Amino acid sequence: MTGIDVARPTAPPLARWTTPPIWSEGLAAALVWIGAGALTLAWPDLTPWARTGLWALLQFALAAPLLALSLAGASWTLTGRLKPAGRWLIALPLALTAWQVLTAKTGILPLPFFPPPQSILEVYTDDAGRLVESVVHSLALLLPGYFSGALFGFAIGVAVGWSKTASYWGHPILRFVGPLPATAWLPVAFFFFPGARSASTFLIALSTLFPVAVLTASGVGSVLSGYYDIARTLGASRSFLIRKVAVPAALPHVFVGLFMGLGASFAVLIVAEMMGVKAGLGWYLQWAQGWAAYANLYGALIIMALLFSGLIGLLFAVRDRVLAWQKGMVRW
């Protein structure tokens, strides 16, 4: 009786269509961005920075679409996507403003270690060429190494997981050599390889190979025996058992290995670029440090973070496609 009363839906308010729904967090965020821009302009820098005006403009530019979305488009899909980030969109300009006040406006945090946001913006406007070049170099070093390491690691993992002989010889080697960080091989690799580039590619491949091989092997080893039994009674050959049963069943493990390998390859990439390869983001960091160009340092770190998290996001997107048959996947 009471349950029915409670369950009855409340009538929609009649006035709803006259006032379009407002995304209040979005509106607040837009206002804070505008405020941050205004403060940037109104409060003079301690020592004038070249890009203070552009920094203010950028903040206004971010406020504009937020304002439009919050006032007009509460029902738009883009608004729906941004909505969960609402509080971040408010906190971000607040944090940036605090950073700016502590540096450019008051100098409480001293230069050169604490450059203001507008000086990092200046790095992007004035040193874009070198940064883009560094990103290209880093990717050109990372990707061939990563893919060859993933490929060999996968092949070794399948062999070790499947064959008793391969496991007998391969597993102890993986266990003994695997824990060595690939960077520890750096001096040896630079000695054995003709150039720093080939040595670094090899080390990136090595750092990817081990996690991929170990995870693939354990994935193949933990396949439900029933999957093999069914296939065997249905007349499956050994190659069918490996290609169509063991490998697809092990794929969730393989992707964990690919993820771990990717993280390891980032570390090797940066160290290799700092130690021997005279190009790429790692080298850029080294170079910026040499000139005490801290703004460049932070600017490069931000780009690195975007690049690496983007690559991991890409890997997870691929995984979500390949493993769409799986239930309850971990989201990145």
State which residue, 10 or 239, has the beta carbon closest to another protein. Answer: 239
Q: Distances from the Cα of 22 to the Cαs of 25, 36, 48, 58, 84, in angstroms?
A: 9, 22, 39, 24, 15
Residue 229 binds to another protein (criterion: CB under 8 A): yes
Angle at alpha carbon of residue 124, lines to 131 and 103, rounded to 5°: 125
Are residues 277 and 283 in contact, defined by beta-carbon separation less than 8 angstroms? yes
> According to CB under 8 A, which one of 43, 99, 193, 240 is a site residue for another protein?
240
Measured between alpha carbons, how far is 131 from 118 in angstroms, rounded to an integer? 17
> According to CB under 8 A, which one of 14, 226, 290, 330 is a site residue for another protein?
226
Total residues contacting another protein by CB under 8 A comes to 22
Residue 325 binds to another protein (criterion: CB under 8 A): yes
Task: Give least dist CB 228 to another protein, A.
Answer: 9
What residue spans of the chain are helical by DSSP H? 2-7, 24-42, 52-72, 77-82, 86-100, 117-126, 128-162, 164-177, 186-192, 196-221, 225-233, 238-240, 247-275, 281-290, 294-322
Show contacts with another protein in window 251-280 (CB under 8 A).
251
Interface with another protein by CB under 8 A: which range of 35-43, 73-81, 228-236, 300-308?
228-236
DSSP letters spanning 18-46: TS----HHHHHHHHHHHHHHHHHHHS--S
Interface with another protein by CB under 8 A: which range of 72-80, 135-143, 207-215, 322-330?
322-330
State which residue, 69 or 251, has the beta carbon closest to another protein. Answer: 251
State which residue, 27 or 249, has the beta carbon closest to another protein. Answer: 249
Residue 242 binds to another protein (criterion: CB under 8 A): no
What residue spans of 222-246 are helical by DSSP H? 225-233, 238-240
Measured between alpha carbons, how far is 261 from 182 in angstroms, rounded to an integer? 11
State which residue, 74 or 236, has the beta carbon closest to another protein. Answer: 236
State which residue, 34 or 247, has the beta carbon closest to another protein. Answer: 247
Coil, helix or strand for 113? coil
* Six token digits for residue 172: 């102890």
Interface with another protein by CB under 8 A: which range of 80-88, 166-174, 234-242, 267-275?
234-242
* Among the listed residues 50, 112, 127, the one whose alpha carbon sits nearest the alpha carbon of residue 284: 127
State which residue, 106 or 326, has the beta carbon closest to another protein. Answer: 326
State which residue, 12 or 226, has the beta carbon closest to another protein. Answer: 226
Task: Give least dist CB 211 to another protein, A.
Answer: 22
Residue 248 binds to another protein (criterion: CB under 8 A): yes
What residue spans of 276-293 are helical by DSSP H? 281-290
Residue 171 binds to another protein (criterion: CB under 8 A): no
Residue 245 binds to another protein (criterion: CB under 8 A): yes
Interface characters, 186-225, with another protein (x: CB under 8 A)? --------------------------------------x-
Please identify which residue in the block is written with the tokens 């193949």.
Answer: 220
Task: Give least dist CB 248 to another protein, A.
Answer: 5
Are residues 204 and 265 in contact, defined by beta-carbon separation less than 8 angstroms? yes
Residues in touch with another protein (CB under 8 A): 224, 226-227, 229-237, 240, 244-245, 248-249, 251, 323, 325-327
